[in-house]
A and B are shown apart, each in its own frame.
Chain A
Amino acid sequence: MSLTLSETLFWVIPELMLAIGGMALLIAGVFLGDKSARMISTASIGLLLAALLVVVALNGGPAEDLFGGAFRIDAFSSFMKMLIFGAAALAILMSDKYLVGEQLGRFEYPVLIVLAAFGMALMASANDLIALYMGVEAQSLALYILAAFNRDSRRSTEAGVKYFVLGALSSCLLLYGASLVYGFTGATQFNAIAAAVGDEANVGVVIGLVFLISGLAFKVSAAPFHMWTPDVYEGAPTPVTAFFAAAPKLAAMALFARALITPFSEIADDWRPIIAVLAVASMAVGAFSAIVQSNIKRLMAYSSIGHMGFALIGLAAGTERGVGSVLIYMTIYAIMTVGAFACILLMRRRGGMTEAIEDLAGLTKTSPGLALILTILLFSLAGVPPTIGFFGKLFVFQAAVEADLVWLAIVGAILSVVSAYYYLRIIWLMWFNEPAPPFEREVGSRLGLTALASAALVFPALLVLMGPLIAAARAAASSLF
């Protein structure tokens, strides 16, 4: 089973590309200066897309365990890596104009996103407690820096410090849980832990697992570990927020699923209630706190907390179906979020960006195209039937019902109706209110195209492509079991 060095390196080509490419771009940036920021952004997008293509090319074979079982390449990790690299590339694509406008056009920005994507790829493949922790740290450190990237802004630095301090605390919880699990099982590798745990859980393992779940819940910003999210989303530069809302959530959810299913699927009854409580709390916080928000970035923060709650329902089911539904949900969530943030980044007036929800009033009269796109995306975020968002929720609820968690599905359905209220309120504002001053027109810009593409995916396109998506997600989920 042990592979030679060249065979091992063959399987980690995507990660190597990101690590080495990131460093090469960093050196290029240092020599060429900030004037090269635009070129390095383009090169970073190319790098991420190339890594994505390599993942696609390597996908399909049997699972490979590398580095003594610490790093696992399987359908699950490939599925998540494709999403993560795509989301990261889009985040760089969407940042361009904003960063130049705010005098933040520095070459470190795309490099940090590439290195964060490298950390996320490690998270998606981590099959060992040490690999898990190191992947989380590699990703988080880059994210802390990105949150504080606008260092002359008080809000941005506050967001960075807050994220850093709370992130460090959650890493402590994660490490503490990992050390307890190691102490009681004597192993850090997930399969070895599964063998040592057996089917009856020791109290110590369960307590370690609780700490582990707390740390991971922080990373996906599930309530009650969500406190940092609204402040960080609001304070960070908007394209950074767009990045935070998509790729890191995907990586953290991938890690969450693997860290629960591979080592602890035999004792699922011990952790299922915890995940169910996290899911209900997140959905409730997402539904009720979002109602009173007036800043659209804060609203998106609460919206993402709520969506994590829905995704966790699928994880609580703990079945192959459940994990498959989580993957489908996260894919749909990423598409909707990227589109919504592209629209938010288009909220630009002469003199700067606006973030207030009131500024969207009467958008149908001032820029009908943007209004229509945002309407479709908001309908999908709310989970209104013909859109793809509805099917995401449907699969998650279905998985919960199949796993005898009917109550969880019912609570989820009720809370999704509550959360529909604030999405519909924005739509009402856009269609039926007196228009606010118009935004600057940007016909055919990258942002406009991104928004249009995601709206097209959300409404008709993905409905047609639903079959392949479901098949891919099911295949990915089955590689965990």
Chain B
Amino acid sequence: MTLAAFAFWVFALSAVASGLMVIASRNPVHSVLFLILAFISAAGLFVLMGAEYLAMLLVVVYVGAVAVLFLFVVMMLDVDFVEMKQGFLQYLPIGVAIAGLVVVELILAFAAWRMPSNAAFADGHPMATAGSALAAPGAPTNIEGLGLILYTDYVHYFQIAGMILLVAMIGAIVLTFRTREGLKKQDPAAQVARRRADSVELKKVKTGQGI
């Protein structure tokens, strides 16, 4: 077993195991921590596939931002998990039935998967061109490859993604931002403009008389 194969098994097993623990552990904080482990294992798998940029992205974005956000949400929201689990047994049979059906479908689907024949590849089957650009020797690195297509072939999607984020931002502001009345705010300009003479007054107090 080569080192790469060994690493693959370690990452793959830990990804599956931590994925199971996400839904199995009773404490939601533990669930989120296992989710982070699953992300890191997946990042390892990406590195093994030669997609080092995606691996970095997964760690920085998902582990660094999304999972930590989850953690905050889980800790801040007081969700009663016992109450949420009520009715679980009631829906179990139909849930298991549907899940079983989907699993059978997926087994059928993946059993039917074939690599396109060599002739189809020679004919320029879409699958032949899909991965070859990056696999060729002397191919650009991940980031170069992404940079080459992101603003050229995929500029349409890139721009729409920007618009979607804009809409999401408008939504967050529309639904949560309130201008509150009577709020005390700091006014730095007024603070700086204030002078000693405006606020300090010296009084001579005679002994034994007070003001």
Contacts and interface: CB of A to CB of B under 8 A. Distances in A.
The answer to whether A and B assemble together is yes
Interface of A: 19, 23, 26, 66-68, 70-71, 106, 108, 111-112, 115, 118-119, 122, 130-131, 134-135, 137-138, 141-142, 144-145, 148-149, 151, 160, 180, 183-187, 192, 195-196, 202-204, 207-208
Is chain A's binding surface mostly helix, strand, loop or mixed?
A: helix
Contacts of B167: 112, 115, 119, 138, 141-142, 145
A118 B170 CA distance: 15
A134 B166 contact: no
Interface in B162-178: 163-164, 166-168, 170-171, 173-175
B88 interface: no
Given A106-B174, A138-B163, A192-B126, A204 B168 contact: no
Given A145-B171, A184-B113, A137 B130 contact: no
A131 B170 contact: no
Interface in B25-68: none
A203 B130 contact: no
A247 B147 CA distance: 36
B191 to A, nearest CB: 27
A149 B174 contact: yes
The list of the 8 closest CB pairs from A to B, nearest first, reads: A186-B127, A187-B126, A67-B156, A186-B126, A145-B171, A204-B109, A203-B112, A134-B160
A70 B157 contact: yes
A142 to B, nearest CB: 5
Contacts, number: 92
Nearest to A207: B109
B125 A196 contact: yes
B145 interface: no
B125 A134 contact: no
Contact of B161 (A134, A142, A180, A185): A134
A15 B92 CA distance: 47
Contacts of A130: 157
Contacts of B175: 145, 148, 151, 160
Interface residues of B, number: 31
Given A66-B156, A145-B175, 6 more contacts: A70-B156, A130-B157, A142-B167, A184-B112, A192-B126, A203-B112
A71 B164 contact: no
9 contacts: A68-B156, A108-B173, A115-B163, A119-B167, A131-B160, A141-B168, A151-B175, A186-B128, A204-B113
Contacts of A183: 113
A207 B108 contact: yes
Contacts of A112: 167, 170-171, 174
A112 B125 CA distance: 41
A67 B160 CA distance: 12
Contacts of B168: 141
Interface string B114-130: 00100000000111101
A151 B171 CA distance: 11
A334 to B, nearest CB: 23
Contacts of B111: 203
B155 interface: yes
Nearest to A184: B113
Contact of A68 (B105, B127, B153, B161): B153
B164 A186 contact: no
Interface string B94-112: 0000000000011011111
Contact of A202 (B112, B125, B155): B112
B160 A135 contact: yes
Given A115-B167, A203-B109, A67 B155 contact: yes
Contacts of A207: 105-106, 108-109
Contacts of B112: 184, 202-204
A141 B156 contact: no
A126 B110 CA distance: 28
Which of A66, A70, A112, A145 has most B Cβ within 10 Å?
A145
A131 B156 contact: yes
Given A106-B174, A141-B168, A186-B126, A203 B108 contact: yes
A144 B174 CA distance: 12
A112 B174 CA distance: 10
Contacts of B108: 203, 207
B113 A186 contact: no
Contacts of B125: 186, 196
Contacts of A115: 163, 166-167, 170
Nearest to A30: B173
B110 to A, nearest CB: 7
A67 B158 CA distance: 11
